[in-house]
Amino acid sequence: MQYHDDGGLSVNPRAQSPDQAAKPRVVSSFQRRQVAGVRGRPSSLLSRLVGLAHGSIFPRHAAACLGQGSTMGLSYALTRRYARRAAVVFALLLPCTALAAGALVYFDQPESAKIFTQAESKGNYWQLSRYYETQRIDTFCSVTSSTMVLNALGVKPAIQQAMIYPFNKFNHENFFTPAVLAMQPVRNIAGDGLTLAELGDVLATFGVRVEQHPATTTSAADFRRLAQAAVSSTDRYVIVNFLRSAIGQEGGGHFSPLAAYDAKTDRFLILDTARYKYAPFWVLSDDLWTAMNTVDKDSKTARGFLIVAQAPK
């Protein structure tokens, strides 16, 4: 047998008489379902959907989402004839496939636009996005997170950038002031990065108020409350230190600032400083907390988060 482009079946003409080959064979819907592996009366939701769409092609994860182990042989090409009915099926499948529990939602995915629109806590986003930049090397996530936050707070660098004079903003060069270098030489950060406590101490040299919150000394509920309040404002910013592998990404410990929070989905938006690797993404608050509630295997110190604000005058 061979498949037509419209999903129907016909007997190979070379195995028929000339008269038989001249007449296309009519195949019923029931026969088509039999060939597809769906025999008899449909007994499951997926089978009923198959009966609706006939020769449509479905993603393999649709069957798993509906509790089935396979797609029952659905490998026909999607054709115009069944496109409308297939669209109905995909609409029915969408709620279980659009946003899997715990899945990260990246900023360039359609679902992200919906989350961002409905999010009420995104005061940090507008300032941070203005100064969003990419870390230059793998271990500079702490430096890049710091320059973004310091610029968003309006802190004036002590060292002038010659190329943008008379304007001045923090970058990867003028971040390393004499005070920073006295605490952490560039070679140390470039080689091993910084711990949560080390970054907190470095940021304090810029005259800002820094609250250090190791995950071992707080709770997931406290983190959600403090972080939501900060991202809703324009004068406090949160830098999270988390383990990438704990949320399904490649890599180890990482720093990046938070930019928004959506209460409906309970997700925070992380402006990932390794933009060559990952786009900004939405992560469940509890999942982020779990990724922060880890211990750096090299320093043996806890990860967590920092809240950085202008020092009171």
At 205-250, the pLDDT tens digits run 999 999 999 999 999 999 999 999 999 998 999 999 999 999 999 9
Taking the model in full, what pTM does it have? Answer: 0.69
Q: How many beta carbons lie within 10 A of that of residue 60, not counting itself?
A: 10
Please say whether the beta carbons of 299 and 195 come within 8 A: yes
Q: Which of 211, 181, 218 is nearest to 196 (CA)?
A: 211
What value does the mean pLDDT take over residues 254-276?
A: 96
Q: Which residues contact 19 (CB under 8 A, 6 or more apart)?
A: none
Q: What is the mean pLDDT of the chain?
A: 77
Please state, in angstroms and rounded to a whole number, the distance separating the CA atoms of residues 177 and 63: 57
Looking at the DSSP assignment, which residues form a beta bridge with residue 310?
208
What value does the mean pLDDT take over residues 145-156?
A: 96
Pairing of strands 9-10, 2-3: antiparallel
Looking at the DSSP assignment, which residues form a beta bridge with residue 295?
302
Higher pLDDT, residue 46 or 151 = 151
Pairing of strands 281-284, 105-106: antiparallel
Report whether pLDDT(146) > 60.
yes
Looking at the DSSP assignment, which residues form a beta bridge with residue 10?
2
Quickly name the fold that domain 105-310 has: Cathepsin B; Chain A (3.90.70)
Q: What is the DSSP string of the chain?
A: -EE-TTS-EE--GGGS-HHHHHSPPP--HHHHHHHTT--SS--SHHHHHHHHHTT----HHHHHHTT-SS-TT--PPP-HHHHHHHHHHHHHHHHHHSS-TT--EETTSHHHHHHHHH-SB-HHHHHHHHT----SSTT-HHHHHHHHHHHHHTPPPSS--GGGTT-----TTTT--HHHHHHS-HHHHHHH---HHHHHHHHHTTTEEEEEEEGGGS-HHHHHHHHHHHHTSSSEEEEEEEEGGGGT-SSSEEEEEEEEEETTTTEEEE--S-TTT---EEEEHHHHHHHHS-B-TTT--B-EEEEEEEPP-
At 162, the pLDDT band (50, 70, 90 cuts) reads confident
Please state, in angstroms and rounded to a whole number, the distance separating the CA atoms of residues 281 and 12: 52
- What percent of the chain shows pLDDT beyond 70? 67
pLDDT tens, position by position, 3-41 = 233 333 334 444 444 454 444 444 444 444 344 443 333
Query: Which regions of the chain carry the CATH code 3.90.70.30?
Result: 105-310
Higher pLDDT, residue 311 or 88 = 311
Q: Of 83-92, 165-174, 211-220, 275-284, which gets the smallest average pLDDT?
A: 83-92
Report whether pLDDT(178) > 70.
yes
pLDDT for the residue numbered 132: 94
What value does the mean pLDDT take over residues 157-170?
A: 87
pLDDT for the residue numbered 166: 87
What value does the mean pLDDT take over residues 119-128?
A: 92
* Dihedral sign for Cα atoms in the order 39, 43, 44, 48: positive
